[in-house]
Amino acid sequence: MNKQLMYGTHAIGEAAIQAGCTCYFGYPITPQNELPEYMSRRLTEVPGGVFIQAESELASINMVLGASVAGARAMTSSSSPGISLKQEGISFLAGMELPAVIVNIVRGGPGLGNIAPAQSDYFQATRGGGHGDYRIVVLAPASVQELADMTFAAFDLADEYRVPVMVMGDGMLGQLMEPVVMPVRKKKKLPEKDYILTGAKRRPARLVKSLILDTKAMEDHNWKLMRKYRRIEQNETRWESFLLDDAEMVVIAYGTAARIARGAINRLRREDESIRVGLIRPITLWPFPTDVLKKASQKIKDFFVFEMSAGQMVEDVRLALDGSGTIHFYGRPGGVVPTPAELARSIARHYYQSQRKQKK
């Protein structure tokens, strides 16, 4: 397909359609309304396309549940407060092992917060979000092209493992206009959907549920889910690194923050050739690239975590490093998007301090 200039939210929508998504259910909330608006038009052109502006977030995620158990590729999208409301349904989807794609265009919080770009839903997303022992796959794009690619990939991941998959961006990515090449669906071998409900014709009746009253059976189900999550950790962990070879300090940032971090690192290296800073950018927030950090810590001792939150991913970094290396942190919560120059100043300060300490 040709390169086209697209808004982030529209790229998500189009990529979903290209991935075979036929059902969208959602409830308006800023800053992601352009996505349901796009889908409301676009799905009329898709055979079997269903668009419902639901009465609530609760209803939309449960419509996704219904469409998913009926065998369709279904999605919903929202922003932070709305995602909180969807957690009940996400927990059910996880327990019932149903695929679904959920887009969260994160805004500042807690509460109503504001509509500015933020990364303060990291805990909620990477710990499952709702009640019970479960995880969901969380993808963190950093460009419009990646919004498209990851939304597209999310549907395959969801079907492959029968899990909800979240694409987590923010209002800046959503509003950005960048050139995109739309991914094209190829034949991919995915597990047969032998659980879907179509009416029990020439087969025994099927039952999809999350209620397991017997504690032993519930425990078995939990361990089964955990085994699946281990498989996802092994196969699907994604990250990217930048200027890591000679780095003495590595910045860890994802999504929009990773873009800013790249800018800051380029700037620092340009201004002072002796500065050796690189970047590790988690692309999947869950599964988190723990092993990559562990490996990096054999050589590098300084880790600089930058998040547009008061510090959430930094806890995963701490867990991954397990005491090896020093963790520095720069956080901007509340919807503040620092400039690369601001970030560069903070990185430089920590970098020089650390170098001085090492010399002593």
- Per CB under 8 A, residues contacting other proteins are 22-23, 25, 48, 50, 52, 54-56, 58-60, 62-72, 74, 88-89, 92, 96, 197-202, 205-211
* Three-state DSSP state, 183: coil
- Least Cβ distance, residue 124 to other proteins (angstroms): 18
- Least Cβ distance, residue 200 to other proteins (angstroms): 5
Q: CB under 8 Å to 40, separation ≥6 — which residues?
A: 24, 51, 53
| Cβ density class 115-149: b for 16+ within 10 Å, e for less | bbbbbbbbebbbebbbeebbbbbbbbbbbbbbbbb
Kindly tell me which of 26 and 141 has the beta carbon lying closer to other proteins: 26
* Three-state DSSP state, 10: helix
Single-letter residue type at 22: T
Kindly tell me which of 86 and 350 has the beta carbon lying closer to other proteins: 86
DSSP state at residue 311 = S
- Least Cβ distance, residue 89 to other proteins (angstroms): 6
- Least Cβ distance, residue 208 to other proteins (angstroms): 4
Kindly tell me which of 93 and 314 has the beta carbon lying closer to other proteins: 93
Kindly tell me which of 194 and 246 has the beta carbon lying closer to other proteins: 194
- Least Cβ distance, residue 48 to other proteins (angstroms): 7
Sole residue written with tokens 């995963």: 316
163: closest CA among 228, 239, 243?
Answer: 228
Kindly tell me which of 52 and 244 has the beta carbon lying closer to other proteins: 52
Q: CB under 8 Å to 317, separation ≥6 — which residues?
A: 252, 293, 303, 305, 327
